[in-house]
Structure 1
Amino acid sequence: MKKVYIIIASMVLMLSIKSNAQIVKAEIRATGLTCSMCSNAINKQLKSLPEVVNVEIDLNTNTFTVILKEGNELSPKVFKEKVEKAGFFIGSLVVTAKSNTIAQNTYIMVNDKKSNVSEIQFQVLDKGYVTEKEFKKLSKSYKNIDTYASNNEDDFHIKMIN
């Protein structure tokens, strides 16, 4: 009887843990940058994450491509915090992640695009991950999705790209 309780408790614990997608790469387009010193501030913040292998910067588009170590458990929230800590905002966040690590209770798909590949690419559509103008437009499009309007920082509404 004791074993049954242990097994049930273990199952409940495993199901209640929120896991994040194993992110392979994040492409962050930052807004508000005016010079190379601005991009340097974001670059330093991103490189301060121990999970980061490399950060590539495209100054023409203000895009930071962040390559991550395998097995990391980062969420998009970490990138938002780092960019904002540098004094800027995210205009767009496109994530490449291992498809088998997407947690349904954390990532909410807003389009029906399905993919059978090992890595998927998606854009995070929540406030703070798109421009304010884009968010207002998306809010009208996704007004029927209750979780989108609630703006819970632990839920990520995503649009599959590939």
Structure 2
Amino acid sequence: MKTILIAIALIGAQFTASAQYKKAALQAAGLTCAMCSNATQKALKTLPFVESIDTDLNTTTFILIFKPNAKVDLDQIRKKVEGAGFSVATLKVTANFDQVKVENDTHIPFAGQTLHFMNVKPQVLTGEREVTVIDKDFVSAKTYKKFSAQTKMSCYATGTMADCCQPGAKPAGKRVYHVTI
């Protein structure tokens, strides 16, 4: 019995290790000086899943390296930037995919979350791939409007799973992150 439980635990550990976020490139909007960048970096460092941060002052980009096997919350990243007085201009997340089949306008379970892929061709994602978060508070109003026209699913407007999104897409109210490649 113990052998079976250990085997199940190892399989589960391998599954979570193969479906995870590795790092993110965050471009903040509204930064005007080194002190602004410093305030944002200090706020981001308080996130429990961030291992380290590199900063490029010329492009106001922060490279966040995530702790291995940590549960990453993209909304917490946005909230830390906004709490420092700025906004997210772009968030590109590098994730480790393990034979994940994606198609346009579909929901995919990933790392304990739901990703809604938009404006993508059917493909199988393997290894590290970068996806861009395109939710309302992660892109400009113009970009958000452009992607709004490309889906009929209500989750893009609400950011949460709704019964009308896809058959079997439960529970309603669960956060959905909209991404593109």
TM-score bracket relative to the smaller structure = 0.7 to 0.9
State the 4+ residue runs in structure 1 displaced beyond 2 angstroms. Answer: 112-117, 149-153
Partner of residue 23, structure 1 = 21
- Structure 1 stretches lacking a partner, 5+ long: 1-20
Please identify which structure carries the higher helix content. Answer: 1
Instruction: Name the CA shift for 1:125/1:116 in 2 (closer, same or farther; >3 Å).
Output: closer
Question: Deviation of residue 149 (structure 1)?
Answer: 2.4
CA distance in 1, matches of 2:125, 2:89: 28
User: Residue by residue, what CA displacement relative to the aligned partner does 1:40-76 show, whole Å, maximum 9, x if unpaired?
Assistant: 1110011112322211111111111101110011121
Partner of residue 56, structure 1 = 54
Within a 5 Å distance, the mapping from 1:6-155 to structure 2 comes to 22-100=20-98, 103=109, 106-110=114-118, 111-142=120-151, 144-152=152-160, 154-155=175-176
User: Residue by residue, what CA displacement relative to the aligned partner does 1:4-37 show, whole Å, maximum 9, x if unpaired?
Assistant: xxxxxxxxxxxxxxxxx62110110110111111
Relative to the length of structure 1, the TM-score reads: 0.77
Relative to the length of structure 2, the TM-score reads: 0.69
Greater Cα offset, 118-127 or 93-102: 93-102
Give % identity. Answer: 37
Partner of residue 177, structure 2 = 156
CA distance in 1, matches of 2:63, 2:92: 9
CA distance in 1, matches of 2:125, 2:147: 27
Task: State the number of aligned residues.
Answer: 139
- Structure 2 stretches lacking a partner, 5+ long: 1-18, 101-107, 161-173
CA distance in 2, matches of 1:113, 1:34: 40
Please identify which structure carries the higher strand content. Answer: 2
Of structures 1 and 2, the one with the larger relative CO (CA 8 A, separation 6+) is 1
8 A Cα contact 2:159 2:177, kept in partner: no
